[in-house]
Structure 1
Amino acid sequence: MLVLSRKIGEAVVIQGQIEITILAVDGETVKVGISAPRDIEVLRKELIDSVTATNQEAANPEIELIHKLIEKTKS
Structure 2
Amino acid sequence: MLILTRKSDESIIIGNNIKIKVLKVQGSQVHIGIDAPRELSVYREEIYEQIRKENVNAVQRTVDENKIKQLEDSLSNFKNLFNSVKKKDK
Say which structure is richer in strand: 1
TM normalised by structure 2 equals 0.59
By how many angstroms is 1:57 displaced? 4.5
Structure exhibiting the larger radius of gyration computed from Cα positions:
2
Say which structure is richer in helix: 2
Percent identity of equivalent pairs: 38
Q: List structure 1 segments (4+ residues) > 3 angstroms apart after TM superposition.
A: 54-58
Alignment RMSD: 1.7
Structure with higher RCO (Cα < 8 A, 6+ apart): 1
How many residues are matched?
A: 61
- Unmatched tracts of structure 2, length 5 or more: 65-90
- Residues 35-75 of structure 1: CA distance to partner in whole angstroms, max 9, x if unpaired? 011121111111111122234445277xxxxxxxxxxxxxx
Q: Which residue of 2 aligns with 1:14?
A: 14
Distance, in Å, in 1 between the alignment partners of 2:38 and 2:53 is: 27
Q: Which residue of 2 aligns with 1:30?
A: 30
